Chains A and B, each alone.
Chain A
Amino acid sequence: MEQIFFFIFAVVAVGSAVAVVAFRNPVHSAISLMVCFFQVAALFILLRSPFLAAAQLFIYVGAVMVLFLFVVMVLDLGRASFDEPVFHRRIWGIVVVLGLFAEVVYLTLKGEPSHIKGPYVDGAMMNNTEVMGTLLYTKYIYPFEIVSILLLLALVGAIALTMNSKGE
């Protein structure tokens, strides 16, 4: 049963990811990317991490996609995108991608992950959010603080970059 759902989500995720790269119009790409983010959130639920699924929906589908669509709208790229030049050395790009793909498929099928199992079995993951919050505010408090400062910097930086030089 779980495998059926996994395959549904995986096929839709890969299809929409290919659509992101293949569509000419950036608006269509953005919508496909949103579909892909939805599928990834569903996969997080299959992996027993509902808090991450909610965070994925809020941040990626809610914030990041709105930002993308907003920039596409502000720059008015919707119809000016059909004269996109093609990469003149595209054969090398394809070679690099296929080479990496073959290499990692080989390593994934050959490799054996180590089995040092932690204490968080499926039963302990019933209160996933609580466990995560406790860890985030005790063991991982310094990365948490650093990442919040980084967010503040990104906020200030984004405003500073998009302001006109005259300060309007």
Chain B
Amino acid sequence: MVPLSYYLILSLILFSVGMAGVLLRRNIIIVLMSLELIFNSVNINLVAFSHHLQSMAGRIFVIFTITIAAAEVAIGLAIIVAMYRRVKTVYVDKLRGMKG
């Protein structure tokens, strides 16, 4: 029996690593991968609480999260492909089209 706090700390570490990836990397594909890491840490959190409280709500919610994440990846990668055709770069620093 693994205590709940172990899962919470693991999920926190994954979240922090994902957030560091979003904040520090400039390659937009790796930013999207880090977003997936954050999604996964949230899923671990939901399932751990669901297991701890002996409820099904968190597990059902994880199914919806996984679906939303799949939709997000499909749209996000489509946007990246469309953007790459236009500006020929994947670095978020080079995207200054909307800078005031």
Taking beta carbons and an 8 Å cutoff, which residues of A are in contact with B? Answer: 2-3, 6, 10, 13-14, 17-18, 20-21, 26, 29-30, 33, 36-37, 40, 43-44, 46-49, 52, 55-56, 59-60, 63-64, 67-68, 71-72, 74-75, 77, 81, 84-87, 90, 93-94, 96-97, 100-101, 104-105, 108-109, 113-121, 131-132, 135-136, 140, 143, 147, 150-151, 153-155, 157-159, 161-162
Which of A20, A71, A117 interacts with B53 by CB under 8 Å? A117
Whether A59 and B66, one on each chain, are in contact in the complex, defined by CB atoms closer than 8 angstroms, is: yes
Whether A101 and B80, one on each chain, are in contact in the complex, defined by CB atoms closer than 8 angstroms, is: no
Taking beta carbons and an 8 Å cutoff, which residues of B are in contact with A? Answer: 1-2, 4-10, 12-14, 16-21, 23-27, 29-30, 32-34, 36-37, 40, 43-44, 47-56, 59-60, 62-64, 66-75, 77-82, 84, 90-91, 93
Q: Distance in Å from the Cβ of B59 to the closest Cβ of chain A? A: 5
Which of A3, A109, A135 interacts with B60 by CB under 8 Å? A135
Whether B24 and A87, one on each chain, are in contact in the complex, defined by CB atoms closer than 8 angstroms, is: yes
CA distance A97 to B38 in the complex (A): 13
Q: State whether A151 and B54 are in contact (beta carbons under 8 Å apart), knowing that A68-B77, A100-B19 are contacts in the complex.
A: no
Whether A14 and B53, one on each chain, are in contact in the complex, defined by CB atoms closer than 8 angstroms, is: no
Whether A71 and B77, one on each chain, are in contact in the complex, defined by CB atoms closer than 8 angstroms, is: yes
Whether A2 and B2, one on each chain, are in contact in the complex, defined by CB atoms closer than 8 angstroms, is: yes
Q: State whether A120 and B55 are in contact (beta carbons under 8 Å apart), knowing that A97-B20, A108-B8 are contacts in the complex.
A: yes
Q: State whether A43 and B90 are in contact (beta carbons under 8 Å apart), knowing that A59-B70, A162-B81 are contacts in the complex.
A: no
Other CB < 8 Å A-B pairs besides A72-B29, A81-B27, A85-B26, 15 of them? A6-B2, A17-B18, A26-B30, A47-B50, A59-B66, A63-B70, A64-B36, A64-B69, A77-B90, A84-B26, A85-B91, A117-B55, A150-B67, A150-B71, A157-B74
8 contacts between A and B (CB under 8 A): A20-B30, A21-B30, A33-B37, A36-B14, A40-B40, A64-B70, A77-B27, A118-B54
- Chain B positions within 8 Å of A120 at CB level: 54-56
Which of A33, A90, A143 interacts with B24 by CB under 8 Å? A90
Q: State whether A118 and B55 are in contact (beta carbons under 8 Å apart), knowing that A20-B37, A150-B67 are contacts in the complex.
A: yes
